Structures are given as C-alpha cells and as structure tokens.
Amino acid sequence: MEKNTSHINPLENEAIYIIREVAAQFEKPVLLFSGGKDSITLVRLAQKAFYPAKIPFPLMHIDTGHNFPETIEFRDRLVKELDLELIVRNVQDSIDEGKVKEESGKYASRNALQTTTLLDAIAEFKFDACIGGARRDEEKARAKERIFSVRDDFGQWDEKNQRPELFDMLNGQIELGQNVRVFPISNWTELDVWSYIEKEDIEIPSIYFAHKRQIFLRDGLIWSVKDGIVYRDESEEILEKVVRFRTVGDMSCTAAVFSEASDVATVVKEIRVSTISERGARIDDKRSEAAMEKRKQQGYF
Amino acid sequence: MNDLKESIKIKKSTKKGHYINLPTSKDKVEMGLLKIATAGSVDDGKSTLIGRILYDTKSLTTDKLEAIEKTSKQKGYDYLDFSLATDGLVAEREQGITIDVAHIYFSTKTKSYIIADTPGHIEYTRNMVTGASTSQAAIILIDARKGVIEQTNRHFFINNLLRIKEVIVAINKMDLVDFSEEKYNAIKADFQELMSKRDYQDQKITFIPVSALKGDNVVNKSNHTPWYQGQTLLEHLEIIDNQDIYNRGTPRFPIQYIIRPKTNEFHDYRGYAGKVYGGELNVGDEIVVLPSQTKSKIKEIYFYDKKYQTASRRSSVTITLEDNINISRGDMIVKVNDLPTINKQFTATVSWMDSKKLFIGEKYVLQHGVNKVLAKVDTIHHVINPDYSGINPDVNGLGINDIASVTFKLNKPIFYDVFKNHRTNGSFILIDMQSNNTVGVGFIQ
C-alpha cells in the first residue's frame, strides 16, 4: 500500500517544540546518540531548534564496543563537522569494574549491559533529561511511552503510573535524582524518518545501504560474521552476500536484510512495500513477547 | 516531502534577504495527518476495531500478523484476535484489557493516521481526556446488543467537553444483532437525544453500523447492511477535511526559549523561539509583548536558517523584533488589536486526574502553555456529572475522574482566551507541588 508523507511538516514542528522544551525546562540535558538514523535525525532537529545558536547540550554515546566500525567512524566525523560536544562511556569499563557480567553462549549480546553504563553516566554527569530517538511505532510497549517519561533513581519506568500529557503541555518537574527520558520523534514512523532523511539530504552511515558482507544464517535471520563479537557455530557456513541494515545496533544483536538499495530514494521505496517491521531485524526483541517492556522497566532506553 | 517544497513560494521583499511563505493551512502539509481518539467500554471491541483497520488497510507487517495468528491459535480461537495488535503491556495481555493510552500508526494514499487507543472503563477517564486533548477526531464505540449505556454518555460528554470537531459513532457487533436496521435506528435515536444536551453544538456526528470482528463497514462495504447507504468508517475518515479540523482563533505566540548565539555573525541577534497557535503571524505585524505591554513589530521570521514572510499555525519558528525588548520564557507575543484576557483569577472546568483529592485552599503549579504560575483553589462551584445527568452543588473536594467548575486565584496574571474560542490558550494543567505529577487539566470558561 502506498504511504503518503505530506504530514511530515507537523511532525517536524512538534519535534522542534519538544527539543526546545527540554532546553528550557532542564538544567543538564543530553542527547543520547547511537550513530543510528533516528539519533542522527534528532541532531538535525536540534540544529533547527536553536539556529543560529549552537545546540545547547552535549551528545552522549554508550559504546558497547560491539558497534559497527562504520558507525563509530561516522559518529566522530559528524561531531567534528558540526562542532558538537560528545561524551563517550564504555560498556567495557563497566565489565572491567565488575559491575556487569558479559553474556555467554550462542545469543550473547552486550545490549542489555548498556543499561548499567547509561545509568552510571547519568549519575556521573547529573543529567536530568536524556533525549532519545525511540519511536512509538517501533514496538508495542513503546507505543505507550510518554514524550516526557519520568524515571526514578534506579532509571526505572513505571508504566502504570505515567503522567498524562495534555495538549502540547509537557511537565518536566522532577525531584532530585529523578530524570526524564524525552522522545521528540515519538509520533514518527520508520518511513517518516527515511523520508525526512531524503528531503533534508542528511548523511547516514554506509551500512544502511547495500554492501557486500560476510554473513551467516541462523533462525531465519542474517548475522554478520565478526569473530570475538558475534558467536558462530562452525557448522554455520560463511556466505558473502549483498545486504544492508535497516536498524543499527550492536553487531551481535542487529540482523541484516538482503537488499540492493544503495541510496536513500531506493531505501524509501523498499520500506514502502516492506511487510516486515523494522524491529523484526532486532535479535534482542525476539527473546520473548514482553522483551522490550522488561528491559524498559530495568532502565533500558 | 515534495508537497512542502511545492508549497513554498518565493515572495519579493523590499527588505534585505528573501522571504518565503511558510506553508499555510491551505497547503497540503497539514492535510496529511489525522489524530483520532477512540472510546468504548470494556468488551465493546475497540482494540478489535483498530486491529481490523490495520489488517484491512494491509498495515500489519508479516511478523506482527504471524504473532497474532500464533497467539490466537494458542488461545484456541477460530478467528484472528486483532486486539493483540494493540494491547501492548504485559498486564493488559494477562487481563485481556487495555489500561493505558497506546498510539497506533497507519497510512493510506490520502492520509497518515495516529490512533490514540484510550481505555473505556470509568476509572480511566483521565486517559480518555488525555487522548482526546491531542486529537482532531473521535470514534465512540457502542455495542449493538447493549445500545447507549451510561459509559456512552461519558464518552460523548468528554469528546464534547474537549471540543473534538468530528465524532464517529460506530455501532459495533452488528453481526450479533443480525444486522438489524431497527436496532441500529433505535440506538441512533437514543444517541441523538444525548446530542440535544451537548454544549458544543457545532460538533459533526456520523453514525456507522459495523462489525469489527467480521470486517463489515470498517474498511470494506458490508453485504449485510443493504439498508445503510453511508460510507464505511475508513471512507469517512479519508474525506475529513483537515483544513478546518483544527480550531482556529487569533494568533498567540508563547515564548519558549530565547536564542542568543553571541557569535561574530549574529552578535546582536535575539530570537524568540516558540510555536504559533490559533492564527498566522507575518513580518511587519504590529505586536504587543505580554505582560510588559511593550509594542513592537515583527522584523524577521526564521525557520532554521531560512527567513519567511508568514509563520503559519502550529509552526515552530523563531521571531526577531524591530526593538530591543526584555522578553523571557512564558511571555506572549500577540497582535496589537487581538489581546487575550489578562487576569489573576478565572473559572474553569477541571478534570481531576489524581487519587489525592483537590480541596478549597490548596495550592498548585498551574502550567498554561509554557508559562508557570502558582494557583490557589478559591471556590469549587459544583461537580458536573459527566453523563449529562446534571450538576451536584454539594461538593467536598474533587476525587480522581471528577469534572467540576472551579475558580482559581493566581500569584501572577496569565494571558488567556476562553477554551471555546481557543483550545490551546484556553487550557492549562495543574501540577502537584509535592509529587510533581500532572494532577488535573482545566478548560477556561
């Protein structure tokens, strides 16, 4: 079914309004930057919100050490080109300090471990608002998340006790120790983001486009070959295929899709006719029906 | 996105730099998005209706559809349980009910839709008010076997209170009453009786007989209702004209944030960032800044790095003024001849949302747009029964889900319009000073 994008302008205006509310209502906001297309879109929206002034808060990347090298290279270039302030905190440090334990086995991933590193970084810098690129269309539990979502001292999400959000009014009043997760592109769909990237001519990491990659197949998903990071049985045969990534997380929890789409316009066309949801390629969500909700209660983004 | 580019017209200006018109309400940019609130009692089939719309518009992705098929089979159903597409939280799946507002997205060739799926049972009135506050249209579900019940009155009352312009009354489960025209007409007549009691008479109301479970008149026309000549639910949504779905008034520009780059290029730049409500603002407009009452003219309108001649309703722009005035967050820019009411006291219809009661003499933070003041409850006049059964003047505080007429006194004046003239500038929220929670919403009378 064909999807129109003519409403993108109201969504952009809404996102800019939300980002400005964060700068006005909080003392130490931060933009959580993953190097994925949604957080790159947030950076553009933040630029628009404050032009001709600079973005009045830093970016923070929680680096699992399992990122695609292309994402890290892109991150560093973006920060330099736009003259942004970037904070990086590493999951490896949390492991070395004995705060979290590396998962083992076939489905080992550092995705869940990020939460501890994130909460520690929030406490370290005393961040009171963390802006993130989560969207309600991504996943069922996220569909219920507020735009300003209050977290307690433990970073926990109390889904039954969320503040009502009326009209455009955002209530960012919190106690010391609490923080707010803010989702300016809550109401955008995957296609809205891609259409925006196309219209705005925003550069994104190369792994979003078709490229040759060594992969193997497991559980009907396409896994990247990366020794030491992605576990692979010897029986799982290495293939070289043309693939791209629809969503970008860690190498150990992001599956590729077979695709020839080599530019944004072709990607937009591909998504319009796709019958698989974006998070269908997230290995972490496949664990159980309530996987996301459980992680969110524990303080996951 | 081409719509935006096409709608931008270059306009010649006598001033330096070129000005562009921001898209106005007539352009397509605002026509594409429709937010709909849904209301229905437990078991009226609301989630099933939404699931059905998603299924019939082919908006469910293969993996979601597979998950629905799998779970339906596990539960031993001989049909697809579409409600599983929307009920997101674990507790909901366990209890089989919707307990919070969920947002569902789908689009057709003409429009993109956001559905706010709000729960229908009495104790969650606050969620219904919340969902309706950001919607331009509403669907009220009625179980054809039960007809108009007390809950229906409440759902209609809230949609009317919040001045939702378009209401669709979907009479559901028609398959269980043999698609009876008499039954449909009887329910319609009962509902029309309610309509005569409503305060907001301009609301447009459309009745549609549907079966969400079987798919009759939801997206596709039913063979079972030859007596019904109207449109299907989706057909009706498709023709709703977004141009007049947003309530209009006079322009109000609450200042959100002051932009002072202090760079060499923009050394003296002082920009006022905010969202335009109610009407448009133009370069050259003579304006007044409230509360200082200082007059000036709009010098420039920026959206990102481009200058525009017109800032349309709901656009997040940055404005500069001809004169150097001291302005801070919460101040408001309005046109010289269009002043709002400036007052330290007013009466509002309040919808209370917290288990901690509201009492006379209590103080709250009152957030009006982006402006915050302190408010004291002066008088609770009466509680309004939200089912059109009248008022109750004998009040001792407001409990959760109460709706009442309340007079507040403020520590500083605010600049407001009455809600019926201006949805944005006529509404406010109340924040508890201990818990910081949003505990109520008010509509200024």
Sign, CA torsion B311/B314/B316/B320: positive
Taking CB atoms and an 8 Å cutoff, what residues of chain A touch B316? 12-14, 16-17, 20, 49
Among B226, B245, B264, identify where a domain stops: B245
Q: Are residues B328 and B352 in the same domain?
A: no
- Considering only CB atoms, which chain B residues are within 8 Å of A8? 1, 4, 29, 32
The answer on B232 and B306 residing in a single domain is: no
For residues B260 and B313, membership in a common domain is answered with yes
* Chain B hits for A175, Cβ within 8 Å: 436
Within a domain: B2 = no
DSSP for B181-247? HHHHHHHHHHHHHHHTT-S-TT-EEEEEE-BTTTTBTTTBPPSS-TT--S--HHHHHHH--GGGTS-
- The CATH code of the domain that includes B372 is 2.40.30.10
* Dihedral Cα A279, B116, A186, B304, nearest 10 deg: 140
CB B209 within 8 A of CB B225: yes
Chain-chain contact of B105 with A137 (C-beta, under 8 angstroms): yes
Same structural domain for residues B85 and B34?
yes
Confidence of residue A6 (pLDDT cuts 50, 70, 90): very low
Among the candidates B245, B271, B288, a domain finishes at: B245
pLDDT of the residue at B24: 39
pLDDT tens for residues B400-410? 989 999 999 99
Please state the rounded mean pLDDT for residues B46-59. Answer: 87
Query: Burial, A238: exposed, middle or buried (Cβ in 10 Å; 0-12, 13-18, 19+)?
Result: exposed
The domain spanning residue B178 has which CATH number? 3.40.50.300
> Are B8 and B29 in contact, with CB atoms under 8 Å apart?
no
pLDDT tens by residue, B192-201: 999 998 888 8
Q: Which of A21, A140, A298 to mutate to test the interface with B (most CBs of B within 10 A)?
A: A140
Q: Do B309 and B191 belong together in one domain?
A: no
Tell me how far the alpha carbon of residue B286 is from its chain's centroid: 31
* Residue in chain A nearest B437 by alpha carbon: A163
Q: Cβ B257–A20 below 8 Å, yes or no? A: yes
Three-state DSSP state, B269: coil
Number of domains in chain B: 3
Whether residue A113 is predicted with pLDDT greater than 70 in this model: the reply is yes
**Which residue in the set B133, B262, B305 is minimally distant from A51, CB to CB?**
B305
Q: Name chain A contacts of B438, Cβ cutoff 8 Å.
A: 163-166, 171
Q: What percent of chain A has pLDDT over 90?
A: 60
- Yes or no, beta carbons of B30 and A9 under 8 Å apart: yes
Contact: B29, A10; criterion CB under 8 Å: yes
In a domain, B1, yes or no: no
Instruction: Round to whole Å and give the CA distance between A278 and A275.
Output: 9
Q: Work out the mean pLDDT of chain A and round it to a whole number.
A: 87
Domain membership of residue B262 as a residue range: 253-335
pLDDT reported for residue B4: 35
Give contacts of B441 with chain A, Cβ < 8 Å.
164, 166
Note the pLDDT of residue B443. Answer: 98
Its pTM stands at 0.90
From the candidates A14, A136, A166, which should be mutated to test the interface with B, based on the most B CB atoms within 10 A?
A166
- For residue A291, pLDDT beyond 90: no
Q: Which residue among B289, B310, B335 closes a domain? A: B335
Tell whether A269 lies on the interface with B, counting CB pairs under 8 A.
no
From the CA of B3, how many Å to the nearest CA of chain A? 6
